[in-house]
Structure 1
Amino acid sequence: MIRIIGALVGLGFAFVVLLSFGFDTYNAATTKAEKSAEYVFYEESHGPDGGFAHDGVFGKWDLQQLQRGYQVYKEVCSSCHGMKFVAFRDLADLGYNEDEVKALAAEWVTVPGVDADTGEAIVRPGSPTDYIPSPYPNQIAAAKANNNAIPPDLSLITKARHHGPEYVYSLLTGYSQPSAELKAEFPDFETPDGLHFNKYFPNLNLAMAPPITVDGQVSYTDGTEPTISQMSEDVAAFLTWTAEPTMVERKQKGWPVLGFLLFATILAFFAKKQIWSAVKPKKAK
């Protein structure tokens, strides 16, 4: 008797679950969701006109662009964002020689260290073996300085975002005021104090203030005109390199591999024909 009651109770629970699933499925299929301002006016990210030099299967790093991107990061982005997975010695891959790498590292005078005499924590100039430091000692300090929003580390940011290089470029160039169409369709939409409207950010309101605001904010030494678009493109390319420094090398190695596979496939095809050439197929009766 107890088993029968238990089975009936189980069947009852199963029936209720199936009934709930059926109602939820019906409601999801027939109820039209209301579109929010974020859904309607959020724009998909895009890259610069002509794309990046590293795009495509034949793409290559533009070392001058990567050096300019590092300069933009150093002079603009590093005040809020660290790069804990990038060592100063890695900058040699951008075309800097050993002395230049040492000089670039020494420009950072806030690298955490230890006093050899007292054992106390100090800050010191960087060396090539150091990693690019965070501007904040901990996340609490980072949140306090940025309206409770902790700036992300930028070492791998282009790998952590969909279409990362295009996302970074669009975000840096996408600050503006809400359009008249948005205000007309969503009168209640607003950008709270401490946030900034950006049409390429998923919820349109971003805690990060516009980092690149005027042309010429960074002075390039190679003669390139430092427009907002150019500086955004350069730092996006640099962050692509920091996230995947071997990307171009991997592409270049892929072509010999594909060539070998094609040759091996052709060789195997002719070998098969040679081996089976003496075997005559049986005629169907």
Structure 2
Amino acid sequence: MVRIIGILTGLVFTLAVLISFGVDTYSNLTTEAEETAEHHFHAEPLDVSFPHDGPFGKWDTAQLQRGYVVYKEVCSACHSLKYVAFRDLADLGYTEAEVQALAAEWQVPGIDPRTGETVMRAAEPTDYFPSPYPNDVAAAAANNNAIPPDLSLMTKARHGGAPYVYSLLTGYEDPATYSHDGERLLEAYPDFEVPTGLYFNPYFPNLNLAMAPPLTTTGQVTYEDGTEATIAQMSKDVSAFLSWTAEPTMDDRKQTGWPVLGFVLFATILAYLSKKQIWAAVKPAKRKH
């Protein structure tokens, strides 16, 4: 009797779960989702091109060096590059001595050989870019409970890549005047508000971004090559630099890819001609009707 009651109880429970699942599924399939301001006014990345775009594109080392300056002077205050070592900067056209000098401008944790205590020391080329915060708790406390993401792979991690980063950096807007395709945000959604401590940016998925506008004025950094450091120029340069940090071997990959494709094409043609030569003397069998 106990076993029968247990089986019946299990069947009732299973039936209840199936009914609940069916009702929820039907409700989700038949109920139209309410369109939100985030969905309606979210903007796609701008159509901006870079020298490294396309199968024949290459890194513009001058642009990458300018992008490094923007990262160092602006972005590094909040964001890390934990997968990039200072020695990798040699790929940007810097000499060994210049790489050592650039690394020495940074402070990284070290060990005092006399006391064994943790100290800060000048970075060496073999060190990786340090985090601006000792841990995530400190990072969240300094950024309205939002932990700034590491930027090493950012252009690979976000849909749109470098154009997305460029759009985000240049896309801060005033929600009171923002319009998309001729439709004003606050006219369509009068209750829309930007929470305290956040900033309106239509290129961010939920429109509200914890990061304050990092690039705010022309001349915020100084380029050694004399290029005018406008907001658009700085945004494009640092976007290209972050494309390089995400895929530093892109040039090598493209240079290797074309010979490989050429070899595959040649091998395909050779295999086809060989097949024609081998089977040339073989006559197809006649079909019997």
Q: TM-score range by the shorter chain?
A: over 0.9
1:34 match: 34
The TM-score, its normalising length taken from structure 1, stands at 0.92
Q: CA deviation at 1:184?
A: 1.3
CA distance in 1, matches of 2:235, 2:266: 43
Q: CA deviation at 1:111?
A: 1.1
CA distance in 1, matches of 2:121, 2:203: 38
More deviation, 32-41/4-13: 4-13
- Is residue 207 of structure 1 aligned with residue 206 of structure 2? no
**Residues 49-198 of structure 1 correspond to what in structure 2 (within 5 A)?**
51-108=49-106, 110-178=107-175, 179=178, 181-198=184-201
> Deviation per CA, 1:31-70, whole angstroms, max 9, x where unpaired?
111111100101011243xx01111011100000000000
8 Å contact kept, 1:47–1:169: no
Q: CA deviation at 1:173?
A: 0.6
Change (3 A) 1:278 1:160: same
Q: CA deviation at 1:15?
A: 5.5
Change (3 A) 1:279 1:67: same
CA distance in 1, matches of 2:125, 2:169: 29
Q: CA deviation at 1:102?
A: 0.9
**Partner SS state of residue 277, structure 2:** helix
Q: CA deviation at 1:74?
A: 0.3
**Partner SS state of residue 187, structure 1:** coil
How many corresponding residue pairs? 282
CA distance in 2, matches of 1:260, 1:152: 41
**RMSD, aligned α-carbons:** 2.0
Q: CA deviation at 1:21?
A: 4.4
Q: CA deviation at 1:222?
A: 0.9
CA distance in 2, matches of 1:145, 1:16: 48
CA distance in 2, matches of 1:10, 1:122: 63
More deviation, 6-15/230-239: 6-15
Which residue identity does 2:256 align to in structure 1? K
Which residue identity does 1:249 align to in structure 2? D
> Deviation per CA, 1:182-237, whole angstroms, max 9, x where unpaired?
11111211111111111100011111110001111111111212111110010011
Structure 1 residue runs without a partner (length 5+): none
8 Å contact kept, 1:106–1:126: yes
Moved over 3 A (4+): 1-26
Which residue identity does 1:113 align to in structure 2? G
8 Å contact kept, 1:47–1:165: no
**Partner SS state of residue 251, structure 2:** helix
**Partner SS state of residue 93, structure 1:** helix
Which residue identity does 1:41 align to in structure 2? F
**Partner SS state of residue 38, structure 2:** helix
CA distance in 1, matches of 2:31, 2:109: 56
Which residue identity does 2:98 align to in structure 1? E
Which residue identity does 1:157 align to in structure 2? M
**Partner SS state of residue 159, structure 2:** coil
CA distance in 2, matches of 1:230, 1:134: 26
CA distance in 1, matches of 2:6, 2:136: 53
Q: Equivalent pairs: percent with the same residue?
A: 69
**Partner SS state of residue 38, structure 1:** helix
8 Å contact kept, 1:46–1:167: yes
**Partner SS state of residue 139, structure 2:** helix
Which residue identity does 1:118 align to in structure 2? T
